[in-house]
Every structure is written in C-alpha cells, then in structure tokens.
Structure 1
Amino acid sequence: MRVVLATHNPHKVAEFQQIVAMTRPDLEVVGYDGPEPVEDGVTFAENALIKARAAAAHTGLAAFADDSGICVDVLGGSPGIFSAYWAGQKKDATANLELLLDQLADIADPHRAAQFVSTIALVTPDGTEQTVAGVWPGRVALSPAGANGFGYDPIFIPDGQPDGAERTSAELSNDEKQSQSHRARAFEAFVPLLKTL
C-alpha cells in the first residue's frame, strides 16, 4: 500500500520511513512533491490537517502529515507550533536552537521542563480525516550535545533514560530514538488508523 507523507523535509521522510519499516513493513511511504500549503492553524492538529489535505488533493492518495515541535513549560508552551520559525521565517535550525538556549540562559536546570509533541493527521481521498498525538517529555539541556538528529535534538534530554543517563536526543542511536520519540509515540497511535485504509 502506498501513502504520501505531506512534507518537503527530507529528515522527516527518512525518520518516518524508519519508523514505518519497524511497524508496518508492507507500507510504502512516498514523498510529497506538490505545492506547500500555508500552515495558518493555531494547533499542531490544525497544521497537520492542512498539510495532509493538500497532499491528498494533489496526489489522489491517502496522505498523512506530521506537525511537531518543542514546547517549553517556562515559556508557556512556546515555541510550540512556531518551532521551525522561532528565529525568523528562514527555518534556520541552528538559529532556532541558539535563540531558545539564549531565552533560557537564566533558567536553572530543574525548571527547564519541555516536551516534544507530534500530531499526525490522516486524510483519505474520500475526505475522511483523523488525528493522533504523541508526547515525549524531557527538558532543555544547558548546551548542545550530539550529532545524530536535527532541529532541537541536540538540546532535548528525554526523561526515563536507562541508568539515569542524561543524553540528548541527538546522542541517542537511530534505533533508540525511533523507538521512543514523539513521532514514534504518535505513529504507534496512528497504526490502527492505517488499518482502516
């Protein structure tokens, strides 16, 4: 079965292909090459649906889209849906990360709680729409560490690591990350929806 992932982000495509291979090897995820819609929703779910609707309409296939970001408690849940644009409209991951660290510079380690959130929307050609969400709790590190991953991975320390480890998401192996990340958690809830296709 083929479904289209509504993103132009090759990192997300690769990440979802790895997650799908672990859970639904019969499912072929294809990239989306159509026009990018304006994401003007005010929640992760609204933006995921906007993207999935556009991809389903453009390709005629069932489409799913992820909208995700980091939500920092002390910042009232920001950057949230603005995670990709936190430092401006250029989607500069390094600038986003540096700005967030600068904003938290005076916040002590115990008060840097954060969550990665992922919402996945599924839209079928007949107009059926469904969403699921996954949350990966943790905190923002004092400085970046690790080279595996993208975006805010180098400054996100997930909760519940074995032996009390303090590794960032960017220091985890691909298998470790794909088994526990916010996208993996959202996809676990998403698998039953795929069975309805």
Structure 2
Amino acid sequence: MRAGLIWAALAAALLAPLVAAAFSPLLQWRDGIYIASGFAGIFGMGLLLLQPLLAGGDVPGLSPGRSRRIHRVTGALLVLAVTGHVAGLWITSPPDVIDALTFTSPTPFSVWGVMAMWAVFAAALMAALRKRLPLRPLTWRRLHAGLAALIAVGTVVHVLLIQGTMEPVTKYGLSALVLLAAGRIALIKGMWPRSSFLNTRHRTPR
C-alpha cells in the first residue's frame, strides 16, 4: 500500500508539469522545434527528481543494484534531454544561445541554466570515468553530490525565473521536490555518509 502510494505520488509529480504545460496558451505562438525543446527541459527536470531517489535507493520495489543501474540510465537520458533542450533553442535562436554560453546574456535565467548544463555534463563525465579517476570513493561521492546539488539549484532558479509554458503551481511543486531530493542526497548520503555519522555518534569521549 505504502509503495503504491509513493509510486502514484512520484508519477503525479513527473507527469503533472508536462500535462499542464501542454495546455499552455503560449504554445500557440511557438513552432514545433521550440516546443520540443521546452518539453525536453521539463522532462529533464523530472529526471532530476528521480536521480537522487535512485542514487539513494529510496524508490520502493527496487533493489540497490537495480536502482543504481536505472540511475545510470536516467543519467544518460538527462544528458540527452539537456542536449535536446539546448539544441532546439540553438536552431530557433542561435544568438541567444551564444549569449547564454558566453555568459553575456541580459537575462539572469540564462546564467543559471548554463551553469546547470555544464554541471550535468561534468557529473556524467565523472560517472563515465569513475574507475579511471584517482579518487577515493568518499571523495568521488562528495564531488558527485556537490555537482548534483549545483544542478538542482541552477535548474530550479533557471526555471523559476522564466515566465514560460510551465504552469506555476506544478512548476513550484516540482522545484520544491527536486531541491528536497537533491538536498537529502548531498547533505545526508553524499557529504556526510551515514557510516561516518554513526561512528561519530557512538565514539566514546576520552
């Protein structure tokens, strides 16, 4: 029962922003590529909610091993979603994308979006090269969690500053969930692993 409720809530959180955006009146004045680009961004934001839940093994019904495997798949999908989002914007308006990538855009949301984009690519590269990087597991986990936090914050600020096709209630709701999920991983399972906390807690004072 509990697992079913969690899955239903998760599905609602992921689908509601997409469905609400599909009914936005602003879509009437947009071409197909621009619309696809925007929905790629919304889809990618939904993946940002899934990623920390999968990494932390918090999705009911999934074993830790399977959860990690799906985490890698959704990570690749996130890279594709971000790439599709930026590529679509490039096709519709190359000067705006150039200004954003060079941090010369007059719109503040562009800066946050670009920072989140590079953090996504950096996190994906770290995951792909994990076995080759000369990093201790804890160091790797902290760096990866730090990038995940940057991705979440950058994406949320980017989205909240844009007055676009996303419906306000679902946009703010998904943003809050993304920050909560990423914060839990970064603060509890990333920066301060549970084992370290327990060792500190049960250490007897001299």
- Give the TM-score normalised by the residue count of structure 1: 0.26
Q: Which structure features the higher share of helix residues?
A: 2
Larger RCO (alpha carbons 8 Å, 6+ apart): 2
Whichever structure has more strand as a proportion of its residues is 1
TM-score, reference length from structure 2: 0.25
Quick check: which has more Rg, 1 or 2? Answer: 2
